[in-house]
């Protein structure tokens, strides 16, 4: 047989709760209980409010640039909930706050980060994640490395790393996938395909039919899910994590979702995005869908919504207070965290607040050696 | 003559060079339909089409590497890297390929390319949006590096860069983007790469800087004793260094302070200081001083003004150097 097919596959798309909140009960079996959906939905409402407040803080000059997460909460919550809190490790970019909160990151950390304060990156003990990652597509390699360490030490732990559709164009993405594949590292690559990388739409980002199929080249199981459906996201992620934990290596998930807000507060998506497209996706907002589902189950109503929104307001008020109430960081911190042991040239810069040699050594010019800090 | 800010002046230079030379192409993330995240390329795609003003995939190595290919094939690419902090993935292509091609082919293959990169701090931007890596690129043989601080210089230097037969890294100080307007001639003109500019003449001390700190230096000078006469030089081109202009000044003043945002160690101040003592040893009345960013990671924005060489620190540096 001189010519034969050596490889053939298909990419599956999984949806369990459709846009009209109709549940495929067969596929939903052993995924999320109604109580779990209700609890996650409460969080969705709270985190959505947090996100809107983040936007307002920027607009009122109380915070720097902020990238809204709006519309992608089901992807973050469904996947985050599938990972074992306190055991598994999250390696995020910056549009999955809900997953980080679910795994124990204090909410004010995120605000601190965007308020220009490194203390927002101090992850508490027992919370397993890296801080937000700003350059696009670089953090997946760290995920591969962390997962590799788990494998070497034979710990039953997995890594889940988050990134967007744009990140899959970066070279590091491909290197991370290749490393995880060849090392059979317990790592789940979770792509939030939100259709836009700032102004560049998904179809201009890659000529690939799906993002999911990019994983085929690295020998890992891959699937596409409706990213606004917590059932589908949870199911696919849990399967991938179970497989990784059992020694089955990495997996890839493309969660099809949508960036309902601008790229960041520094962006204006109206310059490049059609209103019709935005409106079509607004109708698929995970908040609408999951609320409708819970209402159909008698687990949610207007009263519960109002009560949750009021609670969200209170929680987020406290979070903002915590973020804004913190003292200005110490000038010395710039220097003190450069190395474990600070070289003399740096401690001299810290102590004098100067880089000029005369400023650092006033004796040279007959000035008194008082603090020269300006 | 129109009053333009830095963004508009660069935009005008790009449009005119694209008009004049159809080999000129612009490529990068969000440079097309969106006109760039700082709107520097606004309206260019509409005018010149998506082939010549291309929104690329999100891949800096891809942008730099394919620009090299375009240049090899006879085009004049002007790739944009969205922020200096994202130069990392493009570094390999720029330094290991673009910078070396002329030498390694003994002139058979050359890379006429202008890499536009917003640079510097002071605008409350997120992490990796505020650094000043000019010395890194000046250190690599085969690259020219420029950093205009005014709209007028920005236009003339960009036209020179685009017409230059070799790769030029063109840094645009973000803090100056919209900070002021000045008259910029409508017609095309060039400002030669490798020429510093004496902004104000003086006899007592020379201050050399470039980019956004030019304005911090001017501010510092406003607050100095009136009888202190400062000569302020805007380097404009980071490499090749116009040491003649600087040496001429330091021979006159005998004192020099160098101001830059980048960290001190191995910053351009180090090179300039070495050149000054080589050229002006017998004229120096004080050790050359450096007022720069600290040798630390650029802090997040709450502390960025504590990190940057702001006016009070520059002022002290000048006073100390003059009283030595």
pLDDT of residue A294: 98
Q: Which of B255, B320, B323 to mutate to test the interface with A (most CBs of A within 10 A)?
A: B320
pLDDT of residue A263: 97
Q: What pLDDT band is residue A367 in, cutting at 50, 70 and 90?
A: low
pLDDT of residue B93: 98
What's the CA gap between A321 and A238, in Å, rounded?
36
**Per-residue pLDDT tens over the stretch B258-299:** 999 999 999 999 999 999 999 999 999 999 999 999 999 999
CA A71 to chain centre: 13
Mean pLDDT of A327-356: 96
Phi, psi for A218 (deg, rounded to 5): -115, 15
Contact of B104 with chain A, judged by CB distance below 8 Å, is answered with no
Considering its fold, how many domains does chain A have in total? Answer: 2
Question: Are residues A239 and A358 located together in one domain of the fold?
Answer: no
The 3-state secondary structure of B274-313 reads: HHHHHHHHHHCCCCCEEEEECCCCCCCHHHHHHHCCCHHH
Question: Are residues A63 and A37 located together in one domain of the fold?
Answer: yes
Angle between helices B243-253 and B268-280 (to 10 degrees): 60
Check whether A155 has a pLDDT greater than 60: yes
Biggest CA–CA distance in chain B, Å, is 59
Question: Are residues A174 and A277 located together in one domain of the fold?
Answer: yes
Phi, psi for A51 (deg, rounded to 5): -65, -45
Of B184, B208, B228, at which residue does a domain stop? B184
Is A2 domain-assigned?
A: no
Distance from CA of A237 to the nearest CA of B (A): 26
Average pLDDT, chain A: 96
Question: Are residues B162 and B233 located together in one domain of the fold?
Answer: no
| Nearest residue in chain A measured CA to CA from B320 | A358
**Contact: B316, A167; criterion CB under 8 Å:** no
Contact of B195 with chain A, judged by CB distance below 8 Å, is answered with no
pLDDT of residue B205: 98
Domain coverage including residue A87 = 23-325
Domain coverage including residue B51 = 2-184
Question: Are residues B217 and B152 located together in one domain of the fold?
Answer: no
Structure tokens at B87: 């130069």
Mean pLDDT of A283-310: 98
CATH number for the domain that contains residue B307: 3.40.50.920
Question: Are residues B149 and B232 located together in one domain of the fold?
Answer: no
Question: Are residues A355 and A271 located together in one domain of the fold?
Answer: no
Considering its fold, how many domains does chain B have in total? Answer: 2
Is A47 domain-assigned?
A: yes
**Per-residue pLDDT tens over the stretch B211-253:** 999 999 999 999 999 999 999 999 999 999 999 999 999 999 9
CB atoms within 10 A of CB B114: 30
Question: Are residues A144 and A262 located together in one domain of the fold?
Answer: yes
pLDDT of residue B107: 97
By three-state DSSP, how is residue B199 classified?
strand
Check whether A143 has a pLDDT greater than 60: yes
Mean pLDDT of A2-30: 96
Question: Are residues B208 and B247 located together in one domain of the fold?
Answer: yes
Is A5 domain-assigned?
A: no
Question: Are residues B101 and B228 located together in one domain of the fold?
Answer: no
Q: Which of B32, B36, B126, B313 to mutate to test the interface with A (most CBs of A within 10 A)?
A: B126
* Type and span of the H or E element at B71: helix B60-72
**Per-residue pLDDT tens over the stretch B295-313:** 999 999 999 999 999 999 9
Is B189 domain-assigned?
A: no
CB atoms within 10 A of CB A200: 23
Is A273 domain-assigned?
A: yes
Question: Are residues B141 and B210 located together in one domain of the fold?
Answer: no
**Contact: B55, A200; criterion CB under 8 Å:** yes
Q: How many CB pairs under 8 A join A and B?
A: 157
What's the CA gap between A301 and A307, in Å, rounded?
10
Question: Are residues B60 and B202 located together in one domain of the fold?
Answer: no
Question: Are residues A126 and A246 located together in one domain of the fold?
Answer: yes
**Contact: B58, A166; criterion CB under 8 Å:** yes
**Contact: B317, A356; criterion CB under 8 Å:** yes
CATH number for the domain that contains residue B169: 3.40.50.970
Biggest CA–CA distance in chain A, Å, is 91
**Per-residue pLDDT tens over the stretch A70-105:** 999 999 999 999 999 999 999 999 999 999 999 999
Question: Are residues A167 and A33 located together in one domain of the fold?
Answer: yes
pLDDT of residue B1: 84
Check whether B196 has a pLDDT greater than 80: yes
Only one residue has tokens 């002139």, namely: B107
Q: What pLDDT band is residue A239 in, cutting at 50, 70 and 90?
A: very high
Question: Are residues B88 and B222 located together in one domain of the fold?
Answer: no
**Per-residue pLDDT tens over the stretch A94-140:** 999 999 999 999 999 999 999 999 999 999 999 999 999 999 999 99
Average pLDDT, chain B: 98
Contact of B275 with chain A, judged by CB distance below 8 Å, is answered with no
pLDDT of residue B4: 98
Question: Are residues A240 and A345 located together in one domain of the fold?
Answer: no
Angle between helices A230-245 and A34-59 (to 10 degrees): 100
Question: Are residues A282 and A352 located together in one domain of the fold?
Answer: no
Check whether A373 has a pLDDT greater than 60: no
Check whether A6 has a pLDDT greater than 90: yes
Q: What pLDDT band is residue A363 in, cutting at 50, 70 and 90?
A: confident
What's the CA gap between A45 and A129, in Å, rounded?
23
Is A252 domain-assigned?
A: yes
Check whether A52 has a pLDDT greater than 70: yes
**Per-residue pLDDT tens over the stretch B126-181:** 999 999 999 999 999 999 999 999 999 999 999 999 999 999 999 999 999 999 99
Is A371 domain-assigned?
A: no
Question: Are residues B13 and B123 located together in one domain of the fold?
Answer: yes
Question: Are residues B126 and B222 located together in one domain of the fold?
Answer: no
B267 in Cβ contact with B296 (< 8 Å): no
* Type and span of the H or E element at A113: helix A107-114
pLDDT of residue B105: 97
Is B190 domain-assigned?
A: no
Find, among B143, B149, B154, the residue nearest to B240 by Cα: B143
Percentage of residues in chain A having pLDDT higher than 70? 97
Question: Are residues B313 and B205 located together in one domain of the fold?
Answer: yes
pLDDT of residue A322: 98
Check whether A200 has a pLDDT greater than 80: yes
Question: Are residues A245 and A346 located together in one domain of the fold?
Answer: no
Question: Are residues A166 and A297 located together in one domain of the fold?
Answer: yes
Q: What pLDDT band is residue A371 in, cutting at 50, 70 and 90?
A: very low
Distance from CA of B192 to the nearest CA of A (A): 31
pLDDT of residue A368: 56
Question: Are residues A268 and A290 located together in one domain of the fold?
Answer: yes
């Amino acid at each position: 047989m001189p010519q034969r097919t050596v490889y053939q596959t298909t990419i599956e798309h999984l949806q369990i709760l459709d846009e009209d909140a109709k549940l495929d009960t067969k596929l939903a079996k052993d995924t999320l209980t109604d109580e779990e959906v209700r609890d996650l939905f409460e969080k969705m409402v709270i985190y959505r409010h947090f996100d809107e407040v983040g936007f307002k803080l920027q607009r009122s000059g109380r915070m720097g640039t902020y990238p809204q997460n709006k519309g992608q909460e089901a992807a973050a919550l469904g996947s985050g909930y599938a990972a074992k809190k306190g055991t598994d490790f999250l390696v995020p970019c910056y549009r999955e706050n809900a997953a980080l909160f679910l795994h124990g990151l204090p909410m004010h950390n995120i605000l601190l980060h965007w308020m220009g304060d490194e203390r927002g990156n101090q992850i508490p003990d027992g919370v397993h994640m890296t801080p937000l990652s700003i350059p696009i597509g670089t953090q997946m390699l760290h995920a591969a490395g962390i997962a590799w360490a788990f494998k070497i030490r034979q710990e039953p732990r997995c890594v889940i790393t988050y990134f967007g559709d744009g990140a899959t164009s970066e070279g590091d993405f491909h290197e991370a996938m290749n490393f995880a594949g060849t090392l059979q590292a317990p790592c789940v690559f979770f792509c939030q395909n939100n259709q836009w990388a700032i102004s560049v739409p998904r179809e201009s980002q890659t000529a690939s039919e799906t993002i999911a199929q990019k994983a085929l080249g690295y020998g890992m199981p891959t699937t596409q899910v409706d990213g606004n459906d917590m059932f589908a996201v949870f199911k696919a992620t849990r399967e991938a994590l179970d497989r990784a934990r059992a020694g089955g290596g990495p997996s890839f998930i493309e969660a099809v979702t949508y960036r309902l807000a601008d790229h960041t507060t520094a962006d204006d998506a109206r310059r490049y995005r059609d209103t019709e497209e935005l409106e079509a996706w607004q109708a698929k907002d995970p908040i609408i869908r999951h609320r409708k589902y819970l209402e159909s189950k008698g687990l949610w109503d207007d009263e519960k919504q109002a009560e949750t929104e009021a609670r969200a307001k209170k929680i987020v008020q406290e979070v903002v207070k915590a973020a804004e109430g913190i003292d200005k960081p110490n000038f010395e911190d710039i220097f003190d965290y450069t190395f474990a042991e600070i070289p003399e040239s740096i401690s001299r810069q810290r102590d004098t607040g100067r880089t000029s040699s005369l400023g650092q050594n006033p004796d040279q010019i007959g000035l008194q050696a008082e603090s020269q800090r300006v | 003559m129109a009053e333009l800010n830095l963004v508009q002046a660069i935009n005008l230079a790009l449009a005119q060079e694209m008009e004049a030379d159809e080999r000129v192409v612009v490529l990068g993330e969000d440079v097309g339909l969106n006109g760039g995240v700082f709107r520097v390329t606004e309206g260019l795609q509409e005018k010149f089409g998506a082939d010549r003003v291309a929104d690329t995939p999100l891949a800096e190595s891809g942008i730099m590497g394919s620009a090299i290919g375009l240049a090899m094939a006879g085009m004049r690419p002007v790739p944009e890297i969205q922020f200096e902090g994202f130069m990392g993935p493009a570094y390999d292509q720029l330094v290991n390929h673009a910078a070396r091609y002329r030498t390694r082919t003994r002139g058979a293959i050359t890379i006429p390319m202008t890499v536009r990169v917003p640079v510097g701090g002071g605008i409350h931007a997120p992490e990796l949006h505020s650094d000043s890596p000019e010395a890194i690129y000046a250190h690599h043989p085969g690259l020219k590096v420029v950093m205009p601080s005014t709209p007028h210089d920005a236009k003339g230097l960009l036209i020179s860069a685009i017409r230059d037969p070799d790769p030029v890294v063109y840094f645009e100080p973000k803090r100056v983007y919209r900070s002021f307007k000045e008259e910029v001639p409508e017609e095309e003109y060039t400002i030669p790469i490798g020429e510093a500019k004496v902004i104000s003449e003086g006899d007592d001390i020379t201050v050399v800087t470039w980019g956004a700190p030019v304005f911090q230096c001017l501010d510092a000078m406003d607050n100095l004793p009136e009888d202190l006469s400062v000569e302020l030089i805007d380097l404009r081109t980071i490499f090749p260094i116009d040491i003649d202009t600087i040496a001429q000044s330091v021979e006159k003043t005998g004192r020099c302070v160098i101001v830059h945002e980048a960290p001190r160690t191995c910053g351009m101040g180090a090179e300039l200081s070495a050149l000054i003592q080589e050229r002006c040893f017998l004229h120096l009345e004080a050790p050359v001083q450096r007022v720069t960013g600290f040798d630390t990671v650029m802090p997040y924005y709450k502390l960025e003004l504590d990190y940057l060489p702001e006016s009070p620190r520059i002022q002290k540096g000048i006073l100390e150097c003059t009283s030595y």
